[in-house]
């Protein structure tokens, strides 16, 4: 039986800075804090006050967003504003099997692994060895690595026969794989391709329709924080605008 997921712990200082605690139970050095005996923290309750090197911290369980914010970066990641939309539009939930093509640094992989739950599985393809190693480190750091299998190869011609509930692609030419992707999806399963340009959107959606996907659509998410202050409330001057387009399709027969 799979062990219950135990998220990493975080320490928050008086300035609101967040530090992820490695799940090693050993004495280690954490950048920005110093030497920490992580074993002493493991049995402490969330909300506990911790004093390290004369500084006060609050101990909490890490959320998936805390994990993503602290992960090691390699290639550009799919940010939470887009990854949570992928999870929702593709109806990904506990027990699902999800195929990912283009692991990158593993940000979307972590989000997928979080939502498929203890009984789910994510199989992800990454042909760049350096990226695959960064993703492995980030998955280990997240505590979700047992839900993920990384395959270091080009996915074209190597997709498994097993049916999947969803398939997500972050590659330059997703249309090259759509014939195979629709084959390995269960009926009613979704696919999503994450692409940065309008030309890729057009090529992807047209190809989805050609191979038989229904309910095709392309969306862009733009996120703007609202700053609430004593003297008034206004939109933030900084906005997380264009990152990529999300192209969706569904296998209905």
Which domains, from first to last, does the chain contain?
9-62 (3.10.330.20), 67-250 (3.40.50.150)
Q: Exposed, middle or buried, 246 (CB in 10 Å: 0-12/13-18/19+)?
A: buried
pLDDT at 231 over 70: yes
Question: In the block, which residue shows the tokens 């095709």?
Answer: 216
- Between the alpha carbon of residue 27 and those of residues 38, 43, 46, 55, 70, the distances in Å are 6, 15, 20, 18, 20
Percent of the chain with pLDDT over 90: 62
pLDDT value for 162: 84
Going by pLDDT thresholds of 50, 70 and 90, the confidence category of residue 207 is: very high
Torsion 54-60-62-63 (CA) sign? negative
C-alpha 114/C-alpha 120 separation (Å) is: 9
Per-residue pLDDT, averaged over 157-162, amounts to 88
| Residue 133 parent element (H or E) | helix 129-142
pLDDT value for 3: 62
C-alpha 249/C-alpha 253 separation (Å) is: 12
Task: Work out the number of other CB atoms within 10 angstroms of the CB of residue 128.
Answer: 15
For residues 238 and 159, the model is more confident at 159
For residues 41 and 75, the model is more confident at 41
C-alpha 112/C-alpha 86 separation (Å) is: 9
Going by pLDDT thresholds of 50, 70 and 90, the confidence category of residue 1 is: very low
Going by pLDDT thresholds of 50, 70 and 90, the confidence category of residue 30 is: confident
pLDDT at 171 over 80: yes
pLDDT value for 51: 86
pLDDT value for 27: 81
What average pLDDT does the chain have? 91
Q: Is the pTM of this model over 0.85?
A: yes
pLDDT at 180 over 80: yes
Per-residue pLDDT, averaged over 239-252, amounts to 90
pLDDT at 42 over 90: no
């Amino acid at each position: 039986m799979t062990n219950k997921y135990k998220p990493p712990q975080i320490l928050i200082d008086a300035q609101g800075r967040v530090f992820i605690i490695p799940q090693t139970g050993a004495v280690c050095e954490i950048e920005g804090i110093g030497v920490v005996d992580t074993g002493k923290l493991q049995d402490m309750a969330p909300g506990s006050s911790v004093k390290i090197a004369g500084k006060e911290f609050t101990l909490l369980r890490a959320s998936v967003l805390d994990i993503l914010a602290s992960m090691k970066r390699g290639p550009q990641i799919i940010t939470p504003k887009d990854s949570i939309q992928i999870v929702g539009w593709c109806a990904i939930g506990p027990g699902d099997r999800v195929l990912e093509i283009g692991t990158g640094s593993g940000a979307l992989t972590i989000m997928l692994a979080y939502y498929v739950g203890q009984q789910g599985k994510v199989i992800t393809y990454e042909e760049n060895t350096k990226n695959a190693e960064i993703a492995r480190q980030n998955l280990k750091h997240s505590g979700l690595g047992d839900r993920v299998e990384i395959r270091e190869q080009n996915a074209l011609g190597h997709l498994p026969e097993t049916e999947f509930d969803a398939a997500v692609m972050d590659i330059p030419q997703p249309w090259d794989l759509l014939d195979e992707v629709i084959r390995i999806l269960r009926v009613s399963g979704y696919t999503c391709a994450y692409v940065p340009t309008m030309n890729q959107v057009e090529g992807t959606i047209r190809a989805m329709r050609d191979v038989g996907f229904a309910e095709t659509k392309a969306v862009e998410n733009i996120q703007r924080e609202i700053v609430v202050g004593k003297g008034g409330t206004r939109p933030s001057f900084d906005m997380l605008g264009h990152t990529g387009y999300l192209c969706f399709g569904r296998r209905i027969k």
